[in-house]
Amino acid sequence: MNACPCGSGLALEACCGPYLHEGKTVPTPEALMRSRYTAHTLGMYDYLDETTHPDTREDVSTEEMRAWSEAVQWEGLEVLETRGGHEGDVTGEVSFVARYMLGGVPQELREDSFFRREGDRWYYVDGMVHGSEPYRREQPKVGRNEPCPCGSGRKYKKCCGK
């Protein structure tokens, strides 16, 4: 039994496999999110393209998706929250964290994904990626051997840099 990469604890054949390999209809946005993660791990980029909403499909490059996905080692998916996506709903949201390694460095992708149902099919529409803003210095960096900015006349390393 091969465990499904989506982290459900089920075998691939009992979880995402029927959507990926047999074309079965995905019942919820969460199941679609899990199957899309699994498609990334298995290199099934056509599935990712097919499950992207037709209105936004042109915004997605399968080749860029392939290049990025093949550059990382997928480590796991954690679904944080789902909203909507029930029977009778036409929209749904899934918040998740996908963990991966890039160049041996652990990374996380935190996203709120938005889904839309058309007929009996759910599609990925868009996502809002969460990230931290990089630290920006307000002052230029002072080198160790430069004069201390406090005005003491000593080198920075012997004054405020101690």
**pLDDT (0 to 100) of residue 132:** 58
Write the pLDDT tens digit of every residue in 74-87: 999 999 999 999 98
Residue written as token pair 């599935």: 47
CA dist., res. 38 & res. 7, Å (int): 9
What the chain holds in terms of domains, given with CATH numbers, is 3-131 (3.10.450.50)
Write the pLDDT tens digit of every residue in 137-157: 666 777 778 888 888 888 887
Write the pLDDT tens digit of every residue in 1-14: 689 999 999 999 99
Write the pLDDT tens digit of every residue in 85-124: 998 899 999 999 999 999 889 999 999 999 999 999 999 9
Task: List beta partners, residue 130.
Answer: 110
